[in-house]
Amino acid sequence: MISNRIKIVTLLLLLSSCGGQKKESDIKLDEENNKSNNEYASYFEIAINNNSDKIITIDEAWGTNIEKSSYLLLKNNKETTKKKSSIYPNSTVIKTPVKKIICMSTSHLPFIKLLGESASIVAVSGAKYISDAEIKESINEGLIIDIGYEASINYEVLMKLNPNVVFTYGVSGENNQYIEKIKQAGINVVVVSDYVENHPLGKLEYLKFFGAFFNKEELADSLYNTIKNRYLETKSKATRATKRPKVLLNAPWKDAWYIPGEYNYMSKLIKDAGADVLLSKPGESHSYTYSIENIIKEAYSADYWLNPNFYSTLKELKNSNPVFTNLPVLEKGKVYNNNNRDTPGGGSDFWERGVVEPDVILQDLINILHPELVNKKELVYYKLLK
């Protein structure tokens, strides 16, 4: 059975290769709305009008999807809710703060935990892949239920739980059919687009997104600004470097090697750490596929090799393809993977808690790429392959 880490790597590569571009929306908000000014996030928007109505718009820009979804978050009573619904007919009404939620992605969990709302989680998808110790304990105690995956969701359990919201993710094709089934059961589904954000601080900004559902905007803003400032301070360290190393990124998947563009999430992290990704296309956010032969020609000039998919040792990497054996970067042992905090069940904390710790990930990368700038700090999410 394929491990969850392979699934995660594959999904992210495919999503990044699609390159979600912003689409025009047919949802029009009131002209008096005071739209939130996100600093880095591109796929959601929070608006508050003069009546203190809170509206979240989500850009569902995956695959060929061109829609936006709108949600009216209300603290008011039932009579007011009915009135507001008529004012915003294109918006789904959700009463806040939400008390019972289901998370279909592990990346949602750290946002909710930072906001102090872990107790609101009544179910998850793929419990064995979760890294967070406290949430795993709640699962073991039966306080949080595993409702299964997309095509195999236990709808009977889901209905009994009767959550206020199911937070999920979206991909094109048949995998999205479960979303419509949940909606047909009368349960609110919110598709979170954090996974298509290209900037590390754009992903982090989803603290504001989740904060709105719990009426914890002030706390969310405070947490976001604190972590953002740590990231920017860490980034400034890399500006003292006198050389920008060349980084070979990823490893082949089914004879295709995905290299993200300059504005992709991983490319941005590596750039902020004072290095450059080999064959990364300037001005692009999505990934391009290359043949192994084309990559190898450039790989001889690599100073470091990062994120070689699911490989955990140099031996595994060499055995996967004999052409890797003579690469200088491999011979010098400068190969690091972001699987230092992977779980025995196949979960990846890099893609779980890492979304709210971009500063820690960036520090790891600077430790690797510019050891002369740091005092030999231990790596957190990365490890040296031996």
| Residue extents of the structural domains in the chain | 26-228, 238-384
Q: pLDDT band for position 141 (50/70/90)?
A: very high
Which residues lie across from 337 on neighbouring strands? 383
**Mean per-residue pLDDT for 123-135?**
95
Q: What is the pLDDT of residue 248?
A: 98
Question: Which pairing describes strands 121-124 and 287-290: parallel, antiparallel, or unpaired?
Answer: unpaired
Rg (CA), the chain: 22
User: Given the structure tokens 């604190």, which residue do they identify?
Assistant: 226
Residue 26: the pLDDT is 33
User: 166-175, 211-220, 263-272: lowest mean pLDDT where?
Assistant: 166-175
Q: CATH second-level architecture of 238-384?
A: 3-Layer(aba) Sandwich (3.40)
Query: Residue 245 corresponds to which tokens in the numbers above?
Result: 């190393």
pLDDT higher for 80 or 106?
Answer: 106
Query: Mean pLDDT throughout 197-213?
Result: 97
Q: Which range is most confident: 10-19, 34-43, 286-295?
A: 286-295
The answer to whether the pTM exceeds 0.85 is yes
- Among 34-48, 334-348, 363-377, the range scoring the smallest mean pLDDT is 34-48
Is the pLDDT confidence value at 28 over 50? no
Report the DSSP beta bridge partners of residue 289: 258
**Can you give the pLDDT at residue 238?**
95
Q: What is the pLDDT of residue 77?
A: 56
Q: Is pLDDT above 80 for 347?
A: yes
pLDDT band for position 266 (50/70/90)?
very high
Predicted pLDDT at 319: 93
Query: What is the residue-averaged pLDDT of the chain?
Result: 87
pLDDT tops 70 at residue 66: no
Phi, psi of 218 (to 5 degrees): -65, -45
In CATH terms, are 26-228 and 238-384 the same topology?
yes
Rounded Cα–Cα distance for residues 216 and 207 (Å)? 10
Please report the pLDDT score of residue 82 as a whole number: 60
Q: pLDDT value at position 254?
A: 82
Q: What is the pLDDT of residue 211?
A: 97
Identify the pLDDT of residue 174. Answer: 54
pLDDT at 16 over 70: no
Task: Give the per-residue pLDDT at 177.
Answer: 82
The neighbouring-strand residues paired with 167 are: 103, 190
> Residue 18: is its pLDDT beyond 70?
no
User: What's the confidence (pLDDT) of residue 176?
Assistant: 74
CB 27 within 8 A of CB 369: no
Positive or negative torsion for Cα 27, 28, 29, 30: negative
Report the pLDDT value the prediction gives residue 167, as an integer from 0 to 100: 97
**Residue 278: what pLDDT?**
98
Segment of 37-41, 138-142, 310-314, 321-325 carrying the highest mean pLDDT: 138-142
Question: What confidence tier does 21 reach under pLDDT thresholds 50, 70, 90?
Answer: very low
Q: How many CA atoms lie within 13 A of 137 on its CB side?
A: 5
Tell me the percentage of the chain whose pLDDT exceeds 70: 85
Lowest mean pLDDT among 294-298, 332-336, 343-347: 343-347
Amino acid 25: pLDDT: 33
Q: What is the largest CA-CA distance in the chain?
A: 72
Q: Which of 74-83, 98-107, 227-236, 298-307 has the lowest mean pLDDT?
A: 74-83
Look at residue 2 and tell me whether its pLDDT is greater than 50.
Answer: no
What's domain 26-228's superfamily in CATH? Nitrogenase molybdenum iron protein domain (3.40.50.1980)
Instruction: Kindly report which listed range (100-109, 177-186, 275-284) carries the lowest average pLDDT score.
Output: 177-186
